[in-house]
């Protein structure tokens, strides 16, 4: 089997998905993934570390900012 990755506009997604589901199940496997978001820019944290700071506390601060 070969893998094909497609980046599809939302308006075409349902149409293409319904066409693919009409094909024999032993010939095709549909793997759906959510679209990827842009990776976080690590430079946004440059110069923001307030020393002395506990490493665990710093990780919580970063995690809370991301979510």
Question: How confident is the model over 4-27, as pLDDT tens digits?
Answer: 888 888 888 888 888 888 888 888
Query: Is residue 26 one of the residues assigned to a domain?
Result: yes
Query: Is residue 1 one of the residues assigned to a domain?
Result: no
Please identify which residue in the block is written with the tokens 């979510």. 67
Query: Is residue 25 one of the residues assigned to a domain?
Result: yes
C-alpha R_g of the chain:
21
Domain limits for position 62: 10-33+41-66
Cα–Cα distances in angstroms (integers) from residue 60 to residues 15, 44, 45, 66, in the given order: 43, 16, 13, 10
- What's the pTM value of the predicted model, to 2 decimals? 0.40
Q: How many domains are contained in the chain?
A: 1
Say how far apart CA 61 and CA 59 lie, in whole Å.
Answer: 5
pLDDT in tens, 43-52: 776 766 666 7
């Amino acid at each position: 089997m070969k893998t094909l990755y497609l980046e599809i506009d939302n308006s075409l997604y349902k149409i293409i998905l319904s066409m693919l589901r009409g094909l024999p199940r032993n010939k095709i496997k549909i793997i759906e993934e959510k679209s990827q978001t842009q990776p976080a820019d690590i430079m946004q944290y440059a110069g923001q570390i307030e020393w002395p700071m506990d490493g665990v506390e710093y990780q919580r601060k970063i995690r809370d900012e991301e979510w």
